[in-house]
Amino acid sequence: MGRSQAVPPRSAGGSGSSGDQARFGPDGDDEGCPILHVDMDAFFAAVEVRKRPELRGRPVVVGGIGPRGVVSSASYEARRFGVHSAMPTMRARALCPGAVFLPPDFAEYSAASRAVMEIFREVTPLVEPLSLDEAFLDVAGARRLLGRPVEIARLIRARVREQERITCSVGVAPTKFVAKLGSTRAKPDGLLVVPAGRVLEFLHPLPVEALWGVGERSAETLRRFGLHTVADLAQARIEMLRGAVGEAAAQHLHELAWGRDPRTVSPEQVEKSIGAEVTFDTDISDPEAIRRALLALAEKVGVRMRRAGQVGRTVSIKVRTADFRTVNRSRTLAGATDVAHELFEVSWALFVALKSTDRIRLVGVRMEGLTDARETPRQLTLDEPERGWREAEAAADAAAARFGRPVVRPASLLGRDDLRRTENQARP
Structural domain 204-257, CATH architecture: Orthogonal Bundle (1.10)
Evaluate whether 364 touches 317 at the Cβ level (below 8 Å). Answer: yes
Q: In the chain, what's the furthest Cα-to-Cα distance?
A: 73
383 is in an annotated binding site: no
Cis peptide leading into 188, omega within 30 of 0?
Answer: yes
Evaluate whether 265 touches 35 at the Cβ level (below 8 Å). Answer: yes
State which amino acid sits at residue 16.
Answer: G
pTM of the full structure? 0.69
H helices then E strands: how many in the chain?
16, 14
**Fold classification of 273-426 (topology level):** Dna Ligase; domain 1 (3.30.1490)
Angle at 190 between CA 122 and CA 216, to 5 degrees: 105
Can you name the residues that pair with 421 across neighbouring β-strands? 280
Q: What is the DSSP letter of 10?
A: P
SS3 62: strand
358 is in an annotated binding site: no
The distance from CA 79 to its chain's CA centroid, rounded to whole angstroms, is 19
Cα distance between residue 264 and residue 271, in whole Å: 18
> Could you say which of 77, 128, 134, 393 is catalytic?
134
Other CB atoms within a 10 A radius of the CB of residue 87 amount to: 18
Buried b (16+ CB within 10 A) or exposed e, 14-37: eebeeebeebbbbebebeebbbbb
**Which residues have a Cβ under 8 Å from the Cβ of 286 and sit 6 or more positions away?**
none
For position 134, what pLDDT does the model report? Answer: 96
Domain ranges of the chain: 44-105, 204-257, 273-426
Give the CATH class of 44-105. alpha beta
Active site residue 134: yes
For position 308, what pLDDT does the model report? Answer: 75
- Give 159-187 as a DSSP string: HIIIIIS--EEEEEESSHHHHHHHHHHH-
Alpha helix ranges (H) inside 225-365: 230-235, 238-245, 247-257, 287-308, 340-354
Q: How many CA atoms within 13 Å lie on the side-chain side of 223?
A: 11
Cα distance between residue 221 and residue 247, in whole Å: 15
Q: Mean pLDDT in runs of 10 for the chain (428 residues)?
A: 55 44 74 96 97 96 89 96 94 96 91 93 92 95 92 96 96 96 95 96 94 86 92 92 86 92 83 84 92 94 83 93 89 89 95 93 92 64 48 60 49 44 41
